[in-house]
Amino acid sequence: MITKFKFSDSIVSSKDVLSAIKNFDSEGELFGYGVRNKIKLIPVNGKTINIKSFKIPNIINKIAYKYFRKSKARRSFEYATILLEKGIGTPMPIAFLENFNFIGLKDSYYVSEHLVTELTYRELVEIPDYPDRDNILRQFTKFSFDLHEKGIEFLDHSPGNTLIKKRDEGKYDFFLVDLNRMNFHEFMPFEMRMKNLCRLTPLKEMVAVMSNEYAKYYPESEQKIFDTLWKMTADFQEQFYRKKRLKKKLKFWKK
């Protein structure tokens, strides 16, 4: 077994982090209900760290992650570091660990600071009368615009992957999570920017608010932004539910 471990200066020691990963299966509090990956909150010297254990890859990916591609854990750590360098919020990266056997990657872990926040973007979708909803949505749109201006294409820009924390009265901070799929560009064209926003909400009125706010910062008309974003949103929703229906049919035939 070969282990690769990288640790950043942090709120906890590398020894404590290694111990927490070693005891991942028997200690800590399960956080969320991930199907593919498992996240646990583990107290360490009065602090709470967040450890994400990635799903054991199939045989092809075991080999790929050993010889050709960086693991999801490593990418999460490295991308978090880049985001912070660019002034974008994300929980502080602490470490990543990879275990390799003779075939390839056996298992991997990403460790970060655990942030306690009030909500995610998802609540804005599911709770129409959420307090200060319009203001939060507009500030989130400006946050997304800033991502695009800095060339950050967050490929998992979906409702549950932005944590939102109230800072002052009427002011909010935003933190990206689930970081292993990102591209970094010198410049992001209009179509790429709109496509990056199309997975966030199926609600036309939210798309209208986001289009109105984005148009304040981007040199394109509000109408064009709305028309483009709404078309991409509708196309994504149609594709999403088509896949769900197909999976349902496949499960039926398996029975």
131 and 186: one domain?
Answer: yes
Q: Which of 113, 132, 148 is the last residue of a domain?
A: 113
pLDDT 10s digits, 136-149: 999 999 999 999 99
Angle ∠(217,221,225) on CA atoms, nearest 5: 85
Q: Which residues contact 80 (CB under 8 A, 6 or more apart)?
A: 90, 91, 92, 93, 112, 179
For residues 124 and 232, membership in a common domain is answered with yes
- State which residues form the domain around 25: 2-113
- Measured CA to CA in angstroms, residue 11 lies from 16, 74, 173 at distances of 10, 20, 21
Does 109 lie in the same domain as 6?
yes
Q: How many CB atoms lie within 10 A of CB 98?
A: 22
Claim to verify: residue 150 and residue 190 sit in the same structural domain: yes
What distance in Å separates the CA atoms of residue 237 and residue 176, rounded to the nearest whole number?
22
pLDDT tens per residue, range 185-198? 999 999 999 999 99
249 assigned to some structural domain: no
Q: Is residue 86 part of a domain?
A: yes
- Kindly state whether residues 72 and 162 are assigned to the same domain: no
Q: Which residues are bridge partners to 7 per DSSP?
A: 95
Residue 252 has pLDDT above 60, yes or no: no
Please give the pLDDT value at position 46: 86
How confident is the model at residue 54, as a pLDDT? 95
Q: Are residues 22 and 74 in the same domain?
A: yes
Higher pLDDT residue, 249 or 66? 66
Roughly what angle, to the nearest 10 degrees, separates helices 190-197 and 222-254?
50
Query: What are the start-end ranges of the E strands in the chain?
Result: 2-7, 29-30, 38-44, 47-53, 93-100, 105-113, 119-120, 152-154, 162-168, 171-176, 182-184
Task: Return the SS3 of 226.
Answer: helix
Considering its fold, how many domains does the chain have in total? 2
120-130 confidence digits (pLDDT tens): 999 999 999 99
Residue 31 lies in a domain: yes
Q: What is the CATH number of the domain that holds 214?
A: 1.10.510
pTM: 0.91
Q: Which two tokens stand for residue 118?
A: 């009030």
Same domain? For 124 and 63 the reply is no
DSSP alpha helix (H) spans, 52-150: 59-67, 72-85, 121-126, 133-149
Q: Is there a single domain that holds both residue 33 and residue 59?
A: yes
Question: Do 133 and 109 fall within a single domain?
Answer: no
Inside any domain, residue 163? yes
Can you tell me whether residue 96 is helix, strand or coil?
Answer: strand
Residue 7 reports pLDDT greater than 90: no
Q: Give yes or no for residue 66 having a pLDDT over 80.
A: yes
**Same domain, yes or no: 149 and 212:** yes
- Domain with residue 89: its CATH number is 3.30.200
3-state secondary structure of 107: strand
Inter-axis angle of helices 204-214 and 222-254, nearest 10 = 140
- Residue 130 and residue 238 share a domain: yes
219-232 pLDDT, tens digit each? 999 999 999 999 99
107 and 124 share a domain?
no
For residue 65, being part of any structural domain is answered with: yes
Query: Among 113, 134, 158, where does a domain finish?
Result: 113
**Does 252 fall in a domain?**
no
The residue from 113, 138, 170 where one domain ends is: 113
